[in-house]
Structure 1
Amino acid sequence: MADLFELTALEQWRSLQQGDISPTDLTEHYLARIERLNPGLGAFVTVTATAALARARFVETEVSRTAPLWGLPFGDKDLQLRAGVPARLGSRLMRDNVPETSDLLVQALDTAGGISLGKTNTPEFGLPAYTESLAAPPARNPWNPAFGAGGSSGGAAVAVAARLLPFAPGSDGGGSVRIPAAACGLVGVKPSRGRIPAASGLDVPGGLPVAGPLARTVADAALLLDAMIAPDGGRPEHPFAVRAPGGDEQLLGAAIRGEGRFQLGVMTTSAWDDAYEISLAPEALAALTVAVDGFAAMGHGIEQTALSADPSYAPAFRALWQLSAARIPAETPEQEAMLEPLTRWLLHRGRELTGRAVAEALSTLAAYERSFIRQLAGFDAVLTPALALTPRPVGWYDAVDGERNFAQQVQYTPFTSMVNVCGLPAITLPVSQTTDGLPMGVQLIGRPGGEATLLALGAQLERTLRWQDRVPPVF
């Protein structure tokens, strides 16, 4: 019989439903793995073993088995607030922060019957695309610990890739689910703006950040995504007048069936091409070829496409990213000194922005969204590389110069932020590996509300490539 961690999340859920294992059994199993493997990987920054076991016993007796995630463990990203658990947000500045209340996404996952085992590693305030803060050890790639896991959901990706969790929630404001998923050989989903009520993006200027799942398989990602959308298994209760298009149907069915033939665009241009020198590594192009050949062999329509040049995107996005740092609670020189150089650079630039500059940036990005969707409207989904480069070594990013650091992040991840700006769904798929065994992936961008199409396409390719059978050498 396979060890529990070898089973997919969906297989574990079925075993729980059938009574073959209990939530306590599964929780104890994963806590033991975390105790053994986490010190060398930096996946978790806080492990709440006592609370997790108490929660498992509660779920067994007090929570209906009809709850979508009944008995399944997960980890809260350390940007999410869980009452009574330290929420350091990847920053030394927040080392003493222990919230009294849980945020909406945490509440949703609890309602769904999940069991939190602790907090997963994230960079400072979730701003960088890599998880190497001064507040915790770096999140190391299970395929080769000399390399980073990406970010900002880096700890979540490491935990899932190393089988410390069956799946994990992350957040994605510029690629923060898809980047670490691609770097660690996982499936990562960024939903449409407004799709997940508890983390919709609609309450943030520009609507960039949403929550999304990281998992080993497309079906596992859909299982978690369904629970994030409707934690009680019913119709999602959207707290805003605007919500993502598409029905309220469960997405797991689309991921399991994997049906349909679609028209796919293939694109290697990005929104950043006019602002930075973007070079695609041979491994990134090779991964794209694997996906194109796979989809073509299935009978999908394939057509090359490209974005029109738009030099307005880069300065507008930079302004919005800087604005996101302006609210960091550092008001004194002593508090600022506890921040990392990149964060200080973003904070200062954000606080220097005028109201007019912010309004112009938001208007520019809204126009970009309309243009982007119009240009790609003829396709059911558009295929791009997930990352432009192979996973980066730990310590690769400039630790002092914020401007250079930002450029490095763009050059590594040019294909992700434009999807957040446009509020579109996207999925990363781990289609290949480098000669050194590091994962390489592709990204599929969907139409508004088009998660079901992306999951169906991912499931079809997964059947052919069987990436879920790959095991990192950390074992």
Structure 2
Amino acid sequence: MADLHELTALEQWRSLQQGEISPTELTRHYLDRIERLNPGLGAFVTVTGEAALARARQVETEVPRTRPLWGLPFADKDLQQRAGVPVGFGSRLMEGTVPETSDLLVQALDEAGGVSLGKTATPEFGLPSYTEPVAGVPARNPWNPALGAGGSSGGAAVAVAARMLPFAPGSDGGGSVRIPAAACGLVGVKPSRGRIPAASGLDVPGGLPVAGPLARTVADAALLLDAMIAPDGGRPAHPFAVRAPGGDEQLLGAAVRGEGRYQLGVMTTSAWDDAYEISLAPEALAALAVAVDGFAAMGHGIEQTALEPDPSYAPAFRALWQLSAARIPAETVEQEALLEPLTRWLMHRGRALTGRDVAEALTTLATYERSLIRQLSRFDAVLTPALALTPRPVGWYDAVDGERNFAQQVQYTPFTSMVNVSGLPAITLPVAQTPDGLPMGVQLIGRPGGEATLLALGAQLERRIRWQDRVPPAAR
């Protein structure tokens, strides 16, 4: 029999359901791998081994097997608060913080029957698209530890790619699930705004951040996504009057069946093209060609498309991103000194915004949302590169100049943030490898509530390419 970590999450779930393994056995297996592999990769900032084993025993005796994640290990991103477990937000400012209550997403994953093994690494307050916090160690790419893992769900991506977890939840405010998934050779899903009740995006200005899964296979991502949406396996209880369109059917079925023929758009333009010099690496274009050829061979319609130029996007998004840093609890000179230069720059820019600035940025992005949905509406899904460049070396980003740092992030990840602004669903797929073995992926953007279509398309391409059989050197 294959080692447990070599099985997909869905295969592990079936083994749990059939009694071939127990939650405690599976938890011990992954804790042993974390102990061996994490020191060189920086995936976890906190490992809660004793609590995880106690939770596994509780699942065995008290949690119904019908719960969608029964006995499966995961880990909380270190932006999520779990009662009694330190939360650092990737920042020296927050060291020693131990929350008394758990966030809604944490509660949902517990209700689904999962077993948390600890906290995965994130950059400071989740703001950068790379995970190299001064407060900790870099999250290193399992395919080449000299390279970064992307961010902000970088620790989660490293843990899944290195087989320290079967899958992991992340959060995505500008690409923070899809970027590290692409950099580490994983499937990453950013759901529609409002789709996940516990992390809908509807309670945040601009509605940018939502939760989403990182996994090795499309079906594994759908398994975790279903649990995020409806942790008791029933009808999701949405706490807002507004929610994502789409039925309440489980998405795992769409991922397993992988059926349908669709009309796909293909584009290499982004919302940032009017503000920055965006250059696509040959490896990014090669990965896009692999996906286009694969979908065309399966009978899908393929049509080239391009975005309409819109110079209003970049300043409005920058303003909203800066606003998100304005609430960081650094009020004194001593507290500010604990922040990294990029965070300080974002925070000061955010605090300098006027009410009028914020209102205009929100209005501009709401207009862009309608425009993007209109432009993509004739397609079932639109294909783009996942990243413009190959995974970046650790230390590549400017550690002092916030303006240059922001530009570097845009030039690496120009295709992700516009999906958050529009509230659309998207999935990254690890379709290719560079000649030296680095993963390169593509992104599929769906219609509002169109996760099932994205999962079906991803499953079809996965069956053809079989990226799940690739194993990073650090995971062996």
Structure 1 residue aligned with 2:81:
81
Letter in 2 for 1:412: Y
Deviation at 1:436, TM superposition (A): 1.2
Structure 2 residue aligned with 1:421:
421
CA deviations 1:275-304 (Å, max 9, x no partner) are 000000000000000000000000000000
Structure 1 residue aligned with 2:3:
3
Letter in 2 for 1:459: A
Separation of aligned partners in 1, 2:323 and 2:256? 40
Deviation at 1:315, TM superposition (A): 0.1
SS at match of 1:133: coil
Separation of aligned partners in 1, 2:12 and 2:96? 36
Question: 1:236-275 counterparts in 2 under 5 A?
Answer: 236-275=236-275
Separation of aligned partners in 2, 1:377 and 1:463? 27
Structure 1 residue aligned with 2:454:
454
Is 1:29 equivalent to 2:29 in the alignment? yes
Separation of aligned partners in 2, 1:417 and 1:377? 18
Structure 2 residue aligned with 1:298:
298
Letter in 1 for 2:186: L
Is 1:438 equivalent to 2:430 in the alignment? no
SS at match of 2:189: strand
Letter in 2 for 1:340: E
CA deviations 1:415-457 (Å, max 9, x no partner) are 0000000000000000001111110000000000000000000
Question: 1:343-382 counterparts in 2 under 5 A?
Answer: 343-382=343-382
Deviation at 1:84, TM superposition (A): 0.3
Structure 1 residue aligned with 2:224:
224
Letter in 2 for 1:86: P
Separation of aligned partners in 2, 1:434 and 1:302? 24
Structure 1 residue aligned with 2:14:
14
Separation of aligned partners in 2, 1:374 and 1:442? 22
SS at match of 1:147: strand
Structure 2 residue aligned with 1:409:
409
SS at match of 2:147: coil
Separation of aligned partners in 2, 1:192 and 1:42? 30
Question: 1:60-79 counterparts in 2 under 5 A?
Answer: 60-79=60-79
Separation of aligned partners in 2, 1:458 and 1:148? 25
Letter in 2 for 1:58: Q
Is 1:212 equivalent to 2:217 in the alignment? no
Separation of aligned partners in 2, 1:91 and 1:438? 29
Letter in 1 for 2:448: P
Separation of aligned partners in 1, 2:238 and 2:15? 32
Separation of aligned partners in 1, 2:76 and 2:369? 31
SS at match of 2:141: coil
Deviation at 1:262, TM superposition (A): 0.2
Q: What residue ranges of structure 2 are gaps of 5+ in the alignment?
A: none
Q: Aligned residue pairs: how many? A: 475
SS at match of 2:473: coil
TM-score, normalised via structure 1 length: 1.00
Letter in 2 for 1:202: L
Separation of aligned partners in 1, 2:160 and 2:375? 35
Deviation at 1:96, TM superposition (A): 1.2
Separation of aligned partners in 2, 1:420 and 1:375? 16
SS at match of 1:146: strand
CA deviations 1:232-281 (Å, max 9, x no partner) are 00000000000000000000000000000000000000000000000000
CA deviations 1:386-409 (Å, max 9, x no partner) are 000000000000000000000000
Structure 2 residue aligned with 1:316:
316
Deviation at 1:309, TM superposition (A): 0.2
Separation of aligned partners in 2, 1:296 and 1:340? 46
SS at match of 2:442: strand
Structure 2 residue aligned with 1:142:
142
Letter in 2 for 1:400: V
Letter in 1 for 2:304: Q
Structure 1 residue aligned with 2:151:
151
Structure 1 moving runs of 4+ over 3 Å:
none
Structure 1 residue aligned with 2:58:
58
Structure 1 residue aligned with 2:396:
396
Separation of aligned partners in 2, 1:435 and 1:263? 31
Separation of aligned partners in 2, 1:396 and 1:461? 32
Deviation at 1:228, TM superposition (A): 0.0
CA deviations 1:193-217 (Å, max 9, x no partner) are 0000000000000000000000000
Deviation at 1:317, TM superposition (A): 0.0
Q: Percent identity?
A: 89
Letter in 2 for 1:23: P
SS at match of 1:145: strand
CA deviations 1:59-108 (Å, max 9, x no partner) are 00000000000000000000000000000000000001100000000000
Structure 2 residue aligned with 1:235:
235
